[in-house]
Chain A
Amino acid sequence: NAGVTQTPKFQVLKTGQSMTLQCAQDMNHNSMYWYRQDPGMGLRLIYYSASEGTTDKGEVPNGYNVSRLNKREFSLRLESAAPSQTSVYFCASSGLATSSYEQYFGPGTRLTVT
């Protein structure tokens, strides 16, 4: 039972390059989330998904797209990376009904855009 997994762990991109961050959970959770963490800013929600086929914007969605591929997987895409997207990205999942909203987080992806 791996919980929430994320790949890659580290990535360096040049400005303008694209990439997809992968996230998968094996807890049969309905809801999944993408956050970014910047120094002194806490965690800010980028996008979230209640279930397969549904996604919604969070607090800082600009420059990102997401796909809820199935119940297990939720990917985050940067189409044209910018230095302002240098951050640590966390994926999380929540069962809601059974877990009363607590979210379980993956190990994070440290992204640097030069």
Chain B
Amino acid sequence: AQKVTQAQTEISVVEKEDVTLDCVYETRDTTYYLFWYKQPPSGELVFLIRRNSFDEQNEISGRYSWNFQKSTSSFNFTITASQVVDSAVYFCARADRGSTLGRLYFGRGTQLTVWP
């Protein structure tokens, strides 16, 4: 299977620090979608963002920003001025437009702990 790699298994920061979660993907398709999901300690999976492969503009939403670079096959996620409530497991995922049913391929996740 074409992979999604999240090399950072665990990251710990102190509140108000900035933190970047890395995501590197593999695909043979020219059109695809990238996603980030958050899984807080309560366990549910929360959709954060979708990015299309043909749109390389970076996106900012409040303290969250995403940097998509096709040249390096990366889709990194930065949290600015982190807060304790940001503590969660974050998953990066990919879907290929040409694939059956748009199935998602997930990375193994990065556990982010923000200390007060």
- The residues of A with any CB-CB pair to B shorter than 8 Å are 31, 33, 40-45, 48, 50, 56, 58-59, 88, 90, 92, 94, 96, 100-105, 107-108
Number of chain B residues whose Cβ lies closer than 8 Å to a Cβ of chain A: 23
A-B contact pairs, 18 of them (CB 8 A): A31-B101, A31-B102, A42-B108, A43-B106, A44-B106, A50-B100, A50-B101, A56-B100, A59-B1, A90-B45, A94-B102, A100-B33, A100-B50, A101-B33, A101-B97, A103-B104, A104-B47, A108-B43
In the complex, chain B residues 36-87 whose Cβ is within 8 Å of any chain A Cβ: 37, 43-45, 47, 50, 52
B106 touches A42 (CB 8 A): yes
1/0 per residue, CB under 8 A from A, across B2-46: the answer is 000000010000000000000000000000010101000001110
Given A40-B108, A43-B106, A105 and B52 contact (CB-CB distance below 8 Å)? no
Which B residues touch A92, using CB under 8 A? 45
Nearest CB in chain B to that of A95: its residue:
B102
A45 touches B103 (CB 8 A): yes
A101 touches B43 (CB 8 A): no
Task: Report the separation of the CA atoms of residues A91 and B108 in the bound assembly, to the nearest whole angstrom.
Answer: 18
Q: Is B95 an interface residue (CB 8 A)?
A: yes
Q: How many A-B residue pairs have CB under 8 A?
A: 59
- The residues of B with any CB-CB pair to A shorter than 8 Å are 1, 9, 33, 35, 37, 43-45, 47, 50, 52, 91, 95, 97, 100-104, 106-109
A102 touches B35 (CB 8 A): yes
Query: Which of these, A40, A96, A104, A105, contacts B101 with CB under 8 Å?
Result: A96
